[in-house]
Amino acid sequence: MHFIVAILAQTASPPPPLTAMEDWSSYAPIANSDRVSVVCPEAGRVTAEFDRQRSVVSVVTIEGFSRRLSKDDRSAINAAIAPLHVLDRVEIGCNGPNEALIHVFGGFKETNGKMMRQLVPIVWGKSGLRGVGGSILPRIELSPNLR
């Protein structure tokens, strides 16, 4: 009985040697999505979902403040988030009684020797969709936020 076990143990091949350069792209997911909800005191639940297929980030749905994502809203958001190429995460916060602030975080971009986080802030509310800082439409921004 011990003789058979010893022969089987000797026939197992050793693992392949580690290569100096591994192809890390094989570890990256082909697709991912993030769905987040928040309950605001006066407005109720706001939900946003975004996904990435290969290197295209797009909006799946946004609901809240008694409205849903329209075709025009979808086009404006997709135009803003298309340059992200990476979907890291989505965050939502209440922004007063009639709005929510949605942040879509992408990857990093080097600017002036500093790594900056790419993100698209979106204001969603009863009166519609807009960007931040007086912008009519959402647009990509760079932030030193490294988390």
Phi-psi map region of 138: left, alpha, beta (phi>0 left; psi -120 to 50 alpha): beta
**Residue ranges, the chain, pLDDT below 50:** 7
Query: 18-31 pLDDT, tens per residue?
Result: 555 566 556 666 78
Which pLDDT belongs to residue 25?
A: 58
Distance CA 129, CA 72 (A): 10
Contact partners, residue 122, CB within 8 Å, separation at least 6: 62, 77, 80, 101, 102, 103, 104, 129, 131, 138
Which pLDDT belongs to residue 43?
A: 77
Name the pTM for this structure. 0.78
Cα separations in angstroms, 59 against 8, 69, 91 = 54, 9, 14
Query: For 41-62, b where at least 16 C-beta lie within 10 A, e where not — what string?
Result: eebeebbbbbbbeeeebbbeeb
The answer to whether residues 61 and 92 touch, using CB atoms and an 8 Å cutoff, is no
Which pLDDT belongs to residue 42?
A: 80
**What residues does 29 pair with on adjacent strands?**
none
